[in-house]
Amino acid sequence: MNRRRRKEKPQQIGTEFSARILAEFSKSPYQYYNYKQIAARLDISERSERGLVHKTMAEMAQSNILVIGNRGKYKLNPIHITADHSNIIEGRISMKQTGKAYLIPNNLEIEDVFIAANNTARSLNGDMVKVHLFPARKGRRPEGRVIEIVKRDKEFFVGVIKESKNISYFIPDNTNMPIDILIPNPALHGAKTGQKVVAKITEWSEHARNPFGEVSQILGYPGDNTVEMVSILIDQNFNPVFSEEAEEEAAKIREQIPESEILQRRDFRDTLTITIDPEDAKDFDDAISFKKLEKNQYQIGVHIADVSHYVRKGTAIEAEAFKRATSVYLVDRTISMLPEKLSNNVCSLRPNEDKLCFSIVFKMDETGKIYNQWIGKTVINSNRRFNYDEIQQIIETKTGDYHEEVLMLDTIAKALRKERFTRGSINFATEEVKFILDENAKPIGVYLKENKDSNRLVEDFMLLANRKVAELIGKVPQGKEPKSFVYRIHDKPLDEKITKFNTFINKLGYSLELGSRKSFVNSMNSLFSFVQGKGEQNIIESLAIRTMQRAVYSTNNIGHYGLAFKYYTHFTSPIRRYPDLMVHRLLSSYLSGKPSVNKEDLEAKCKHSSDMEQRAVEAERNSIKYKQAEYLSDKIGQEFYGLISGVSKWGIWVQLDETKCEGMVSVKSLVDDFYYYDEENYRYIGQHTGKIYCLGNKVHIRVKDVQLTKKQMDFVFI
């Protein structure tokens, strides 16, 4: 009986066999398969039936449906791939340590695409790629295969050398790079086992799992502070040093301002002007002037360093500024976008020095009402350099240098802030981790920087300046096309992310109103206010920010969702942000009546600036993680209290209360019971005891281990 079925089955298969095989090849049209692999995909195991698969594939090759590759493998003939490319999308690869990856599409409305490890086609984390989408399966995440690497994310990689007899290994620091680079020993260029180096890929053949490479720079040994900080920078494509050409150009820039230049500008040197910055800041790129007028009105000037006067197109300094696109603020150092002579000297609005600025000056009253505004080039001379603590002291005590002027500025700033929130701005509040370092940059203390009225005073005037500059260019009469410009845009959050966030806070006893934007924003602000000072505050605020889209630079203005501004740009920090420098140049050009610039060229610069901004954020986070791990490295065995900040199938993440250091409690260490993972409710539940470890729970831990170079901290529950 069974034998009869086996004889009949090949005939049954033969009727539509080609179509079934074609369907399998269509799922991965750029992948080669032999007949055994296709038979397995069709769930065919009998020898005679597999022979029929082999024969049919050969016939399909003769008919040009398939093409033959090496070792008896076939793939779909390109002429049969969807001609309109509707199943091909482009985006950036986010790779995991296991080798599997996700495509984050350029079109943010498209869901992330899962890519199995065997379908990544030599792409690496961060690469821009094209992906062929497989046919959709109901209830499953979209899947696909990389068919083209459009642009490599990195040329250089940071890692550690492991020497061998003929071929050595480069083991990358970044766990999102799941493969090692093979280094022929002559290409080590003196690097030794255990040293941290910079390497680049020189060859990667199509069928090879690992690429070949060479060492381009020896950094030193892991654990050295400078080595680790430089590694973090290079890993995110930032060069710690400027080119010789840029430094030589900077050295030639005159510090003395010619009188002829001053005569072309509006002179504010006799108007009271102050700067307000962090205590350790050196690059003062904004100042505020104050002048009392009659009828209880005030002239408030927001003065921004005129970097475009010194950084000219076609220079080495300009090339470096564009490449970096932003300054990077690590825990123990700042890597400026501009050479030090410019960032900390010539352009910096230091007190008692004449400085060139691009300014926006408002006539306003204490309610924040604006009667008129003026934008143009100026010269200033700052009367006093304040830090935030000094301004906060004046606000709280109502005494101190220029206290009357500072208090009125604070009053106006609060009025502007109130109006912004009334209009629908979201009151995001995040805690910033700061370290007390010894002479060797080793952390000896950790504290949280609090955002106070002094910080918000500066922020509100900078927001006003940025908004008004954007409105000047973008807000044109109906029917008239605005000139090409750089906007800071923030898209509305995706519905599924809001729903997921709301589901999470429901489990903590909170909820959001999702009916309209106004009700959503009001309930979000109420939530932030309600959790102030509570244990779950940091987790809720962090997850709320992750729920939002990322703000980016673009020539296509869609407004700023989080701030509730229809027009917004970045104008106020050209010393440390390239988009601000672009805005200064555009503004100067348009104010002088020149035509609109090429939008495509401008958009490409916006995209690059957004990418580099994200790299800078990642570098800053990694430097904080390293210092947190270093701070706990001599505290193994000590006990701390914290909150459960994350739950995964691997373990439970705990953020310590005082230092915000985050480590993981491995599931394997939960030996008092058998715990099962309740993914939907972000918790682990003990099978026998019913004990629950849930997101947001207060817990008591002991530091078990710290792996400094990996920036990992392991905890156990007490």
Per-residue exposure over 40-71, b if at least 16 CB sit within 10 Å of its own CB, e if not: ebbebeeeebbebbeebbeebeeeebbeeeee
Q: What are the structure tokens assigned to 32, written together? A: 């080669």
Around Cβ 172, how many Cβ atoms within 10 Å? Answer: 19
Q: Of 172, 192, 196, 173, whose CA–CA distance to 182 is shortest? A: 172
Q: Which whole number is the average pLDDT over 125-139?
A: 85
Assess contact for 359 and 339: CB atoms under 8 A: no
**Stretch among 61-65, 94-98, 303-307, 712-716 having the lowest mean pLDDT:** 61-65
Specify the pLDDT at position 4: 38
Assess contact for 412 and 300: CB atoms under 8 A: yes
Per-residue pLDDT band for 196 (boundaries 50, 70, 90) equals very high
Average pLDDT, the chain: 91
Q: What are the structure tokens assigned to 582, written together? A: 């672009």
Give alpha helix (H) positions in 531-577: 537-547
Per-residue pLDDT reduced to its tens digit, 210-225: 999 999 999 999 999 9
Around Cβ 38, how many Cβ atoms within 10 Å? Answer: 20
DSSP SS3 for 310: helix
Q: Which whole number is the average pLDDT over 398-419?
A: 97
Q: Where are the beta strands (DSSP E) in 278-383?
A: 286-292, 297-305, 328-329, 334-335, 354-365, 370-381
Per-residue pLDDT band for 13 (boundaries 50, 70, 90) equals very low
Specify the pLDDT at position 88: 86
Assess contact for 466 and 416: CB atoms under 8 A: no
φ/ψ of 88, rounded to 5, equals -120, 125
Q: Which of the pair, 30 or 121, is modelled with greater confidence?
A: 121
Assess contact for 89 and 113: CB atoms under 8 A: yes
Per-residue pLDDT band for 504 (boundaries 50, 70, 90) equals confident
Rounded distance, CA 232 to CA 219, Å? 12
Res. 533: pLDDT tops 80: no
Q: Per the confidence metrics, is the pTM higher than 0.95?
A: no
What distance, in Å, lies between the first and last C-alpha atoms of the chain?
64
Q: Which whole number is the average pLDDT over 70-91?
A: 74
Q: Which whole number is the average pLDDT over 625-654?
A: 94
Res. 651: pLDDT tops 80: yes
Residue at 495: amino acid letter: D
**Residue 256 burial by Cβ neighbours in a 10 Å radius (0-12, 13-18, 19+):** exposed
Rounded distance, CA 298 to CA 82, Å? 65
Name the strand (E) or helix (H) holding 277: strand 272-277
**Stretch among 61-65, 581-585, 646-650 having the lowest mean pLDDT:** 61-65
Assess contact for 74 and 61: CB atoms under 8 A: yes
- In order of their start, the domains of the chain are 2-80 (1.10.10.10), 88-151 (2.40.50.140), 156-222 (2.40.50.700), 244-419 (no CATH), 453-622 (no CATH), 633-717 (2.40.50.140)
Q: What is the CA radius of gyration of the chain?
A: 30
φ/ψ of 131, rounded to 5, equals -125, 135
Rounded distance, CA 450 to CA 66, Å? 64
Specify the pLDDT at position 23: 76
In degrees, rounded to 5, the angle at the alpha carbon of residue 577 between the alpha carbons of residues 429 and 335 is 90
Residue at 13: amino acid letter: I
Per-residue pLDDT band for 95 (boundaries 50, 70, 90) equals very high
Per-residue pLDDT reduced to its tens digit, 578-635: 999 999 999 999 999 999 999 999 999 999 999 999 999 999 999 999 999 999 999 9
Rounded distance, CA 463 to CA 565, Å? 10
DSSP SS3 for 160: strand
Res. 510: pLDDT tops 60: yes
Res. 82: pLDDT tops 60: no
Give the position of tokens 């080495």.
Answer: 316
Q: What are the structure tokens assigned to 2, written together? A: 């069974």
Assess contact for 378 and 266: CB atoms under 8 A: yes
Per-residue pLDDT reduced to its tens digit, 310-364: 999 999 999 999 999 999 999 999 999 999 999 999 999 999 999 999 999 999 9
Per-residue pLDDT band for 497 (boundaries 50, 70, 90) equals confident
Res. 536: pLDDT tops 80: no
Per-residue pLDDT reduced to its tens digit, 364-393: 999 999 999 999 999 999 999 999 999 999
Assess contact for 229 and 623: CB atoms under 8 A: yes
Assess contact for 342 and 353: CB atoms under 8 A: no
Around Cβ 698, how many Cβ atoms within 10 Å? Answer: 12
Specify the pLDDT at position 86: 62
Residue at 530: amino acid letter: F
φ/ψ of 508, rounded to 5, equals -100, 5
Rounded distance, CA 467 to CA 234, Å? 34
Per-residue pLDDT band for 5 (boundaries 50, 70, 90) equals very low
Alpha carbon 424 to its chain's center: 25
Phi-psi region of 228 (alpha: psi -120 to 50; beta: other; left: phi over 0): alpha
Assess contact for 77 and 64: CB atoms under 8 A: yes
Q: What are the structure tokens assigned to 714, written together? A: 């392991």
Q: Of 137, 154, 32, whose CA–CA distance to 93 is shortest? A: 154
Per-residue pLDDT reduced to its tens digit, 447-489: 888 889 999 999 999 999 999 999 999 999 988 999 999 999 9
Rounded distance, CA 28 to CA 313, Å? 47
DSSP SS3 for 56: helix
Assess contact for 618 and 648: CB atoms under 8 A: no
- Express as a percent the part of the chain with pLDDT over 90: 71
* Helix axis angle, 388-397 to 403-423, nearest 10°: 90
Q: Of 294, 286, 298, whose CA–CA distance to 411 is shortest? A: 298
Q: What are the structure tokens assigned to 488, written together? A: 């800071």
